[in-house]
Chains A and B, each alone.
Chain A
Amino acid sequence: MPRAKVKRKSTSIDMTAMCDVAFLLLTFFILTATARQPDPLDIKLPSSSYKIPVPDVDIAKLTIGHGKVFYEVAGKDVKMATLDKMAEQYKVSFTPQERERFGVIQSFGVPMQSLKAFINLPDEAARTKSGLQIGIPTDSLDNQLSAWLLNSRKAVAELHSTAMRVSIKGDAKEEYPVVKKIVDILQKQKINKFSLITTAAGGAK
């Protein structure tokens, strides 16, 4: 009688399929993760326990820090339409290339007078370094922030037929009067509702 041979099984398993799946998922997550754009203005957001996510479209973002205000409106089409309206209002003309370039610029803080030079700088790093970003003028004489807001609200209404939301990203250490000044500008345009962007709280407990 022959002895029944116990087959010795190998403990290592084929990992090819697992590896495939893992990398597929990895690729998916890397691609969907929106790269966090570094803010040109160095700010630290306050934390809160609120859990309302901010929408990605039809929203304007005011960044307040170190006494300066930076502005950004979401969406390339809205950005370009806003620029057209601003150009008309401030009697500046932009070439189609400049419009195109402005469409991909993130948050910026330059007065209208130096915007053209700002757009023509080669890249984001040069723009940050340029020293042109002195904040958007908010004086009552030359209230460009108000004009930007109004024009982008018009642009959003025309292009997407919805109301634009306004969000404020303020530096935690910013003094309240500075924020109040900006909020007053918003309220002058009857924007009485806005979102304050905060980070998820760990420290609020």
Chain B
Amino acid sequence: MAELDTSSGGGKKGGGKVRTKKANTKVDLTAMVDLAFLLITFFMLTTSLSKPIAMDIAKPDKDVKDENRLELRASQTMTILLGKNNKVAWYMGEAGKSQPNIEGFGEIRKSILENKKKVADLNNNDPKKTLVVVIKPTSGASYENFVNIMDELNITKITAAPAIDDENITDAEKDFMKKNGIL
């Protein structure tokens, strides 16, 4: 059916009418179809993959001096400082009272999960009292670090809105980070 007829028009030799060869119009389409489907697959996959995705970030309003700001309870607050060389320092509770831990981005997820569990256990799994994370990107951090840490919060399902605080980095925090060479 779909192939080129290469046989000559009758094969009679000597005498008889010279028949004009009737060329078969059918072409083998297999290769063409193969190629077409390959391209379809390619375009289907790339169109859905290249769609840019976004993470929505909300930062606190700077100007509003809101009186009824919520106070964070030290016991359920985890502060993560982003330093240079892709390192983070984190501590639970108030600044200066607990010694920060220095970690890389590989281990921070484990720490977040541990702290989340600790806080949940402490409050008898009260959904209103979950771990609150405060992110403090310092001048040494890169943009990627910031995106990564927000991503970690998404992965570890921290439901309380994270506080992004790049204004109030205390001296104690700075000193600690400088001492450990990540600022």
Contact = CB atoms under 8 A, between A and B. Distances in A.
Q: Do A and B bind each other?
A: yes
B60 A19 contact: no
**9 A-B pairs with the lowest CB-CB distances in the bound complex, closest first:** A195-B54, A29-B43, A22-B36, A172-B144, A15-B29, A46-B147, A48-B151, A46-B144, A176-B141
B145 to A, nearest CB: 7
Interface residues of B, number: 49
Contact of A194 (B57, B137, B139, B142): B57
B61 A26 contact: no
B55 A177 contact: no
Nearest to B145: A176
Interface in A103-130: none
B166 A22 contact: no
Interface string A36-56: 100000000010111111100
A98 B83 CA distance: 46
A197 B49 contact: no
Given A19-B33, A48-B55, A32 B47 contact: yes
B106 to A, nearest CB: 11
Interface string B1-23: 11100000000000000000000
Contacts, number: 155
Interface string B37-66: 101100110110111111111111111000
B52 to A, nearest CB: 5
B52 A54 contact: yes
SS of B interface (majority): mixed
A178 B142 CA distance: 9
A193 interface: yes
A43 B90 CA distance: 30
A72 B155 CA distance: 31
Contacts of A51: 53
A50 B151 contact: yes
Contacts of B37: 22
Interface residues of A, number: 53
B55 A14 contact: no
Interface in B143-181: 143-148, 150-151, 154-155, 166
A71 B162 CA distance: 28
Contact of B2 (A13, A33, A49): A13
Nearest to A175: B142
Contact of B55 (A29, A52, A171): A52
A162 interface: no
A142 interface: no
B146 A176 contact: yes
A104 B56 CA distance: 27
A25 B2 contact: no
A187 B62 CA distance: 7
13 contacts: A10-B1, A12-B1, A48-B147, A48-B151, A48-B154, A52-B53, A173-B142, A174-B144, A176-B140, A196-B150, A197-B54, A204-B151, A204-B155
A151 interface: no
A140 interface: no
Nearest to B49: A200
Nearest to B147: A46
A176 B82 contact: yes
B68 interface: no
